Structure 1
Amino acid sequence: MNNELIMPVEISIKEKKKLSQGKVMQVVVFSRCTMIEVESSLNENYYLIYYKNNLVYGEKVEKIEKDSFIDKIRKIGIVLHSDHPFLSAIIPSQTATIPNKNKLFSQLQNQYSLQEVAYIATTLDSFFTKKQLSNVIYKIFYHYRRNGNFMQAFQIIKILANFAPDLNSAREIKNSLEFHSYMEFYTSSSLSTIQQKDSLFVEWHCFKYRLQPDEGKMLEGLLRKQDSFLTLLLFWMEKVEKYSKVTSIEAYTTMALQFVSMEKWIVTLDYLHINPFQVLPQTKSMIEEMLQEEHYETAALYLMNFLNALPDTYEEILHTLWEHLDPTFIATHIDTFMVMIQQLVLEDGEKQSEQRLLQLIGKLLETYDLKEVHEKLLPIQKSAPHSPVFRKINKMLTLLDDPDQMMELGQYYAEFKQYDEAIECFSWEMELYPDDPAPVSQLSKMYQNKGMVKEAFAYHQILDQMK
């Protein structure tokens, strides 16, 4: 994956009168819940819990306790880390306003069903004590039982028993004769039958066991029915990552483009080790548009990881990049571009490529010494063995350790616009032959090329005196 195309995702957190800016470090999706971990500029870790893309609650937490909701979903949820290119599409809002903690559950009851409130309560054990949350769930249970809604009451006590397995009273109520028939319904019925009575439980169950064939298929059906295409897309990505099995790429591309641009989707496919330029024909027109707008480096960044596996129809695009890319950019990514340059030099012929190679080698010499540059460019040299540029490099290597050849070596360095190395060579030559005006003349030229007028004039005066 090309990290140069990945920008960190930031989020603002409003907490009472305090505003914190932070970077999203991790997102975990589990059923209808999303957990977002944010590292603030003060290195504080905030955890935000969303339900159906609405912020429920969040706080700064120093340590996530074992077996808490956040700890569990990190193990069983769909996890995206900070380097995932699809991360920004999952963040519901760039600003998270933390609600009043004391009024939280009364507000939740105005937004969601009581069963959902009970389930949401189990996701907040990093911010409330288990006793506080259990009391909330108990109240909902007794509300249903008082009103004779025993199926709903059983659903709530089942949520509580799973949330607090050490709570004997909840376990005893769940296993009591009063709820035996409901227990029997859950243990003996098919998921499709249970779904008619308890869609929340079935979705939770299928999400937990989503990588099993039956549960996975049922989850896909549930998500499609709910128009939960973002979660469906994340599920598809997870399977691609785990099993390297790519299916329905065009259908999921159409789905993805509801949430991200084609450019972002290409980077996402790269992250999933899918070559978008092989499987999506429309990507070629996107790259061509970048070239028309002269965004050569951007186009190269998208293509970079696939240069050796592009369709033949991209040949003209590669020639355009080789012709227009800044030599500094190519030098920075020389290892990635090596095979492409090798092929293009072979196709274009030496004359067309000489100027580009001259510029490229000049840029490489700014970072690496002569021997390293020679070593790096050996594959290209094999494609153009008679290139005058490479003959110069090879000649420079023979002169490198010969103090009597510093004048010639300096002239070669000057051709590659490496004026500092050339100055060093001519200065050495001037010391060896103080009566020779040639190195003095070259020193004046080199300083002039560097824009150092004062130094250039000083050597010009010395040259006049010598004459």
Structure 2
Amino acid sequence: MMNQTFYLKDKDQSLTALTPIRLAIHVPCTILEAQDAYHHLYHLYFKDQQFLAAKKVSRSKRRSYTEKAFTQGIVFLCPHPLADQLAEDGATIMNQSFTGLLKKVQHDPLETVEVFSCFDGLIKEEKLFKVLRDHYYTYKRDGKFKKAAVVYERIKSIYPEHEWVQSIRSEKVDLTTDQRLLWQARNLKEGFSVSHQLAAAEEEYRSSPSPGTFKTLLAFTNEHYTPSEQQMLYDRLLTDGYDEPARNAFKELVRNHQPVEAIQLLAKYPFTLRASDVRDLRVMLHDKDNLRSLQFETLCSKLAPHLTDYPDEMNEIILTALKYSPDHDLITLLKHLAPLESLPVYELIKQLSEIAEDPEQQAAAGDLYEKLGFYSEAIDCFTYEMELHPESREPVERLSQTYLAAGQAEEAQAYQELLKSMIS
């Protein structure tokens, strides 16, 4: 998986190429952490997928909103589809100053408080405090005491020890519908975005992976992700060690009669096979066309371990697969077969490797090569034997049989004719 690159354009028209690293889903703001070519970090703030502002940072201020977002929110490594939805590959995002942002949102004082309370680690304390306190007094003057109380609670959460906070009598206010508290409890009532629900479903699966939690996540992603976004999520989960996406995809491929793709998926993303998965794999590996599509090393290292309870069957599959392997180097084959050294085929190749170059044992070597389906090498061995013992009928008979097994009927017939001439 490759992270995308997007561009941040500042007021001086300079462009900075950024690569996403992490995404912190929180309320009210989501933070995308990205880095430039020099590994400098940037935090980009979004609300309801709308870009607010970006800031080059060194580290998060302790007890700031940013720190809370990355420690108490839902954090995903990139690439991730929710990050792509915020900053598409190749997109240019126009940055703006906090002053410019303030002018845009000042028509809604409570919205201003919600957004700017997320920048407590980025804006100087006295400036941010003034912005928030001014809105508190605006609501008080207008007789909107509940909203004033909400603003006070926001200021108190940022500056609990501030002299002004200590001097104000806290009014009782019902915060049971406060989205920050609901989000903290993952109580996603009305008002939460699709992105928050997607993030919560993924978090639930990651914390408690099971067919049930994956089914919930699958339902959300089927409805709200494109196929490419869904695949990106599954690749992310597989990379992080969660196997339910692979199992689900494997079953779908088997159900859709795509055995080659199913085998390749299992080889790339191994997962713990259940009994039904093992049955499907056994059936697929007995199909010669499926075996032809596999590298021999992959069969030995990635797939064979799933069939340890079926050694005789696995030995038969390995012998069949050897016939389609382009690499007949015995030392290489023994290396590939090392995880399966208890199988008879391993011993056969080991024995062959010990006599293959011995001129006195070419007949025996030819027999072993033929058992492996390495007909070209077997023919070389029997030809050497025939030249060494021109009066013997056995090498000629073996050559005829081997050519026939290799599908070369004309050559097999020629050696049959030679046998007849030897008899007469």
**Alignment TM-score, normalising by the size of structure 2:** 0.69
AA paired with 1:376? P
Partner of 1:356: 321
Partner of 2:182: 206
Instruction: Note if contact 1:65-1:126 (Cα within 8 Å) is conserved in structure 2.
Output: yes
CA shift for structure 1 position 93? 4.0
Partner of 1:393: 350
Partners of 1:288 and 1:229 lie apart in 2 by 31
Choose the corresponding residue for 1:335, options 287, 298, 301: 301
Alignment map for 1:33-44 (pairs within 5 Å): 33-44=29-40
Partners of 1:150 and 1:249 lie apart in 2 by 45
Partner of 1:7: 2
Partners of 2:6 and 2:312 lie apart in 1 by 49
Number of residue equivalences: 362
Partners of 1:55 and 1:364 lie apart in 2 by 59
Choose the corresponding residue for 2:70, options 74, 95, 98: 74
Partner of 1:451: none
C-alpha distance after superposition, 1:92-121 (max 9, x if no partner): 5443524320312111235xx321211211
Gaps of 5+ in 1: 1-5, 187-193, 211-215, 418-467
Secondary structure at the aligned position of 1:37 is classed as strand
Partners of 1:80 and 1:69 lie apart in 2 by 17
CA shift for structure 1 position 153? 1.6
Secondary structure at the aligned position of 2:18 is classed as strand
Instruction: Note if contact 2:297-2:336 (Cα within 8 Å) is conserved in structure 1.
Output: no
CA shift for structure 1 position 251? 4.1
Change (3 A) 1:319 1:160: farther
Partner of 1:152: 147
Instruction: Note if contact 1:140-1:156 (Cα within 8 Å) is conserved in structure 2.
Output: yes
Change (3 A) 1:301 1:115: farther
Choose the corresponding residue for 2:225, options 256, 259, 272: 259
AA paired with 1:106? K
Partners of 1:416 and 1:41 lie apart in 2 by 54
1:105 and 2:90 correspond:
no
Partner of 1:275: 244
CA shift for structure 1 position 283? 5.9
Alignment map for 1:301-450 (pairs within 5 Å): 304-307=270-273, 311=277, 312-313=279-280, 315-319=282-286, 322-327=290-295, 331=297, 334-340=300-306, 346-347=312-313, 350=316, 353-354=318-319, 356-357=321-322, 362=327, 372-379=335-342, 381=343, 385=344, 387=345, 390-396=347-353, 398=354
Partner of 2:251: 284
Partner of 1:425: none
Change (3 A) 1:91 1:347: farther
C-alpha distance after superposition, 1:55-113 (max 9, x if no partner): 11112212322222222221111111236x55556645443524320312111235xx3
AA paired with 1:184? K
Alignment map for 1:154-233 (pairs within 5 Å): 154-173=149-168, 175=169, 183-186=171-174, 194-195=175-176, 199=177, 202-208=178-184, 210=185, 216=186, 219-220=187-188, 222=189, 225-226=190-191, 228-233=193-198
CA shift for structure 1 position 297? 7.3
Partners of 2:126 and 2:359 lie apart in 1 by 87
Partner of 1:459: none
Percent identity for Structure 1 against Structure 2: 14
Partners of 1:67 and 1:109 lie apart in 2 by 26
Instruction: Note if contact 1:33-1:49 (Cα within 8 Å) is conserved in structure 2.
Output: yes
Instruction: Note if contact 1:240-1:272 (Cα within 8 Å) is conserved in structure 2.
Output: no
Partners of 2:361 and 2:56 lie apart in 1 by 65
C-alpha distance after superposition, 1:342-391 (max 9, x if no partner): 678844873x75352255593897xx867644533315x2xxx2x4x751
Partner of 1:21: 17
Instruction: Note if contact 2:149-2:173 (Cα within 8 Å) is conserved in structure 1.
Output: no
Partner of 2:388: none
Partner of 1:454: none
Instruction: Note if contact 2:28-2:115 (Cα within 8 Å) is conserved in structure 1.
Output: no
Instruction: Note if contact 1:28-1:78 (Cα within 8 Å) is conserved in structure 2.
Output: yes
Secondary structure at the aligned position of 1:41 is classed as coil
Partners of 2:125 and 2:373 lie apart in 1 by 71
Instruction: Note if contact 1:118-1:156 (Cα within 8 Å) is conserved in structure 2.
Output: yes
Partners of 1:374 and 1:301 lie apart in 2 by 16
Alignment map for 1:108-119 (pairs within 5 Å): 108-109=105-106, 113-119=108-114
Alignment root-mean-square deviation, CA = 4.1
CA shift for structure 1 position 161? 1.6
Instruction: Note if contact 2:22-2:75 (Cα within 8 Å) is conserved in structure 1.
Output: yes
CA shift for structure 1 position 20? 2.5
Partners of 2:358 and 2:313 lie apart in 1 by 39
Partners of 2:33 and 2:291 lie apart in 1 by 44
Q: Counting helix residues as a fraction of each chain, which structure ranks higher?
A: 1
